[in-house]
Amino acid sequence: MAKEIDESKQGQSLVLQADNNNSKKLYIESYGCQMNFSDSEIVASILSKAGYNTTDTVDEADLVLINTCSVREKAEQTIRKRLEQFNVYKRKKPAMKVGVLGCMAERVKHAFLEEEKIVDMVVGPDAYKDLPNLLEEVEEGREAVNVILSKDETYADIAPIRLNSNGVTAFVSITRGCDNMCTFCIVPFTRGRERSRDPYSILNEIADLQARGFKEVTLLGQNVDSYLWYGGGLKKDFSKASEMQQATAINFAKLLDMVAIAQPEMRIRFSTSNPQDMTLDVIDTMAKHPNICKYIHLPVQSGSNRILKAMNRLHTREEYFALIDSIRERIPECAISQDMIAGFPTETEEDHQDTLSLMEYVKYDFGFMFAYSERPGTLAARKIEDDVPEEVKKRRLAEIIDLQQKHSLYRTQAQIGKTVEVLIEGNSKKSDKEWMGRNSQNTVVVFPKEDYKIGDFVMVKITDCTSTTLIGKAVKISNERQ
């Protein structure tokens, strides 16, 4: 739940320009959060060097991979159905190999390989470099599995191949794993302990993206605010580092500052933040640099202190309010979005009303809202009975969604009459005569094309809106980045 999940991208197959030296074909499909899609780019890069070009046609593939998510039950059900479909192709083409990657691979490895026998290999999130070796095992008729979680793997030395890219925006992973043991979340068990990537490898990757014409990067991690580089190693071991390592350590605020200074013409975003880990120096760094977008995804999950404690969220309602107040004070124009879970075990009507009142206080720009579903392997599944009836979960979720739609419209209406900078990403979904882009606050903006092009920063005067989209007319090219 801690990651933004774009429903429109679920199951998207990834294709890149072919290398004429490669003779085999890879079909790779991704589900879940943006971290999974970013990982698929790393996998494509590794396999490109092993002789594979990507394809968007399953039946011509030599290797079919599905990069999986364990956050929600719906995602797992979808993936199982897709594996059944892939096996229909495999019966027609016995040489085809099928593999499962990612979070679900780690969690249900035995079922996939031994019980259901629907895949040839299972590869966890920290084992992608082992793919060429695992493929050799498969080719020799053996099942292949590597779901070992690493204490140091960050893929800092792999240059991801940008798949299905618009050539304008890109994601750059800065951390892997998570140390926050939220009781509803499977991520710490599927992605391992938290470790940070060498900041100079991050700067080099972003510099390469800028040289290739990209205009915006999102620094990506399960919890970016916990970023801490002191020469390598787990964050939990920082106290054991030498005095010199501790004195020269780089935290997230410093990394953000370094990236913003190094690439003043690029827009910088980050996701996802955690209320208990976000510090005021991060907010101050955002306020200081005009090229850092004024948007924070700040999951809260519940407005009830009792439920927050049951979730092992290490912040209270009051501490969350104080953080919101600090953001509003330092960056008045900052947009804030949420993750919210309706119907967590033992949630009462009073707890639910606390969530609604928290939403009224913050008035989020948008959000990602779900009814609780028990995930096998989580602390909640092991220790707390899922006792809220489904019809109650659905009703509470509907009330949360209705309130969020009201607040989203309130936020977009406040933009009418303003002129905002928009980075053009591509065609509007509804009309090929209009461009679509996003403003600093991450709100979608559509406007007539005129003589502008993809990748332009354009000043757009907002004339109308829906609850999710700003509508306007381009005024001129932005002077900010000339």
Peptide bond into 190 cis (omega under 30): no
Strand pairing category for 457-465 and 295-297:
unpaired
Tell whether residue 465 is among the known ligand binding residues: no
C-alpha 72/C-alpha 68 separation (Å) is 11
Tell whether residue 185 is among the known ligand binding residues: yes
Within 351-443, strands assigned E span 366-371, 419-427, 434-438
C-alpha 258/C-alpha 198 separation (Å) is 13
Greatest Cα-to-Cα distance within the chain, rounded to the nearest angstrom: 65
Given the structure tokens 């897709």, which residue do they identify? 82
How many helices (DSSP H) and strands (DSSP E) are in the chain? 15, 22
For 243-267, b/e burial (b = at least 16 CB within 10 A) is eeeeeeebbbbbbbbbbbeebeebb
- What is the 3-state composition of the chain as percent helix, strand, coil, each rounded to the nearest 5? 40, 25, 40
Tell whether residue 178 is among the known ligand binding residues: yes
Strand partners, 297: 337
Beta carbons of 189 and 236 less than 8 angstroms apart: no
Given the structure tokens 């709100």, which residue do they identify? 443
Q: Which residues, other chains included, contact 12 with Cβ-Cβ below 8 Å and sequence gap of 6+?
A: 29, 30, 37, 164
Residue ranges for the binding site?
Answer: 33, 69, 103, 178, 182, 185
Residue ranges for the binding site for [4Fe-4S] cluster?
Answer: 33, 69, 103, 178, 182, 185
